[in-house]
Structure 1
């Protein structure tokens, strides 16, 4: 059994169940109670949310640099609690914040982020996930398995591999439709005019310049460009606007001039500017919280019911938690961490070892 290691991050700073399931990344696999597994930096990494921490482990128990990778991926240098405090001055955000704590923007690999979001055009989460998995299975490299699930894990393919001449036809046969052409054309454009490192280099450009470069790519419109700017290019003020965000802007922020039946370019810019005015430099992060709260799979959190709720204290903050959503208090391992007066109850389906940092 491999060892669990503590990331030392509180739930109000990171909630895995929402952050990993709100349409940012489509490769995290649920591999147990409050447990998810994916591939980061060429390594299989499993995460587990406990009552007061995040645990991580790797199949081979070699976790060198994994904490560094995770802190970069979840941008843990950003004080999310302070940002929520600032955003709560907005009445609409305040209504939803208590049930949607700990939602962070992932700092993803630009190649994976770009080609993943080319797949999102007129698509749903289940089908996007299937497409991304097919990309990895057919063009990535298999790197191993974990005991909880039988299927292997793969790296995301390189731009060079996706630029091969046969890729478009193969992707059409795999069910990608018109997106096959976009993926092939974008990969070939990058390799013909730049190289594998070009996308990562866009992080150094100002937001507007970075966005303009992305808009040159096949299959990349304003929304996809802003998703990539926000989720892999270090542009926290980027606001991807889709029908969900458009409805939020009209319903909750009463923006005038948004009465048209379609999302026009003018409306797109107006919505982005309004969110940046309200929420500041990290407006894209705040937008993600509001977007997540509007998703159907999380609507139960906004339903009030006196019979199914109780008040609990979480790290000094009083919050309401649905009894139906509370984890079972099964047998576990009590571990003392760097805070000597505080215990942690680590919920284990199959008890692993927890290493103190």
Structure 2
């Protein structure tokens, strides 16, 4: 069955403004949704080819391709991990895949041959929760205990950096284009900036009431957006990490994933199962561009040509959507809205325990 087109979700009542028309590339063919045998935990498009990589709850990583007619083909499966896949990442040149899992290990795989290039078992004392790839030689991992490690393939077997500056799980990591600064969000409600070159913490925000779950660097790296467990986008000025410069409530549940589409527009994946197109500063939820029903959006990824967004949820499906034409997004005149922090959702406190039970 083909994924539903974006048009079906544009006037959802949950939008701030239902009158915004978001243009898409009508020539793009939407691939069939992928019905997976197990719950999907992370996805990542191939960076140079029409292909997508899917990690599941049993530790399997599967590579799929899709053609011009929208047909999806399973290519191969890797079973290097013994427990849940937490992260799948592909290097910019498309030659290498890194995977990390709950089994505390990470693997480096050649995407052309499928050969396992390296397996780092017992990489952390706690289960790995997030990862960020700098290039084919350098990767960072964050675990459930708040530990961050940097790995250089040329200097294995140990990490070249280890930091313990957080009291809870490392939920997301995003590297600046300069490859010198790493932004880190944590379940303890903080945003941290790590100087990769100097291998030390540069600054950490004050402690917020809600978990920080997802990150995006916006506005030509002048702003950093954090999605939190209360459905609020917390916006920081670059370099001013102590406190937010703006906040934008509006999501009906935790913002579990974010995907920048331009310097001004992001796609958010929410606990309520909806993918939203959001304009940042001025702040406005422009439209609903997809849905997984009532299942939370676990992961978002953008295709190598920018034409497709893929999303994964607890419904055991990977769905594809046409990327909206962000250049034609018009922002509502009354869209900017601020609000005070609200109490943390109790179920967000059980987020880590949920994965552990699985």
TM-score when scaled to structure 1? 0.28
Which structure: greater helix fraction?
1
